[in-house]
Amino acid sequence: MKRTVEPKVLYFGTPVVLISSRNPDGTTNLAPMSSAWWLGYHAMLGMGTSSQTVQNLTDRPELVLNLVDPAMVAALDRIALLTGSEQMSASKRARGYRYEPDKFTAAGLTRSPGELTGLDTVEESPITLEGQIEAIHPIGDPGNHLCALAMKVEQVQVREDLLLGDRYVDPLRWDPLIMKFTEYFAGGAPAYESSLARGWQMPPLRVG
């Protein structure tokens, strides 16, 4: 039997990504997000229009998607409630966000120069996708402040132990960190206590 409900979020399960984008001063902003999907060599990214990342990509379309595996979850969570924008919405402040211009240091992640974009990529990321935004589409009513960004992937780098030959990623070795309803999962099991879940005031996981 099904029941009609209105969930607080609809994160049924998508991979976590760290986005590198260029700030107005030329530095790299690093932002975690988990509304991404791919079709061919194109990616669609769902984000809030007030984010520093969207502001950056509107003016400077180059970006890097740094894919995240479970070994990176603690670093990721350290910046889950940080923003590169000094101006933030009241809802973000209520969830515990604070301004931090250097999220690489805050996360404890290593900068590595991107070959194509020149942006700082995440050395610890096992897969990086460099490219640029081709279009930005508003989603829903303007008051939602949501958009979908269409990215063209122009270069893919994969850690060698994840490769099968020259063109294939081993799906048994590649275990992406997944976000389900603001909680981190790896291999189908909870991976780490989520600061984002606390910020959203989600009910605690009932494990066991």
Is 133 a domain residue?
Answer: yes
Instruction: Please report, for the domain that includes residue 139, its CATH number.
Output: 2.30.110.10
pLDDT of residue 208: 62
pLDDT of residue 17: 97
What is the rounded CA–CA span in Å between residue 52 and residue 162? 32
Structural domain total, the chain: 1
Instruction: Evaluate whether 194 touches 81 at the Cβ level (below 8 Å).
Output: no
What is the rounded CA–CA span in Å between residue 108 and residue 65? 18
Range of the domain at 113: 17-199
**Where does 15-168 have alpha helices with state H?**
52-59, 73-78, 90-94, 103-107
Q: Within a 10 A sphere around the Cβ of 64, how many other Cβ atoms?
A: 27
Is 170 a domain residue?
Answer: yes
What is the rounded CA–CA span in Å between residue 180 and residue 63? 25
Is 12 a domain residue?
Answer: no
Is 65 a domain residue?
Answer: yes
Q: Note the pTM of the prediction, 2 decimals.
A: 0.91
Nearest to 136 by CA among 55, 67, 65, 64: 55
Is 11 a domain residue?
Answer: no
Written as six digits, the tokens of 127 are 């897969």
Is 9 a domain residue?
Answer: no
One digit per residue, pLDDT tens: the chain, 208 residues?
998 888 888 888 899 999 999 999 999 999 999 999 999 999 999 999 989 999 999 999 999 999 999 999 999 999 988 888 777 777 777 777 888 889 999 999 999 999 999 999 999 999 999 999 999 999 988 878 899 999 999 999 999 999 998 899 999 999 999 999 999 999 989 899 998 888 888 888 876 6
Q: What's the Cα-to-Cα distance from 195 to each of 72, 77, 201, rounded to whole Å?
A: 15, 6, 10
Is 208 a domain residue?
Answer: no
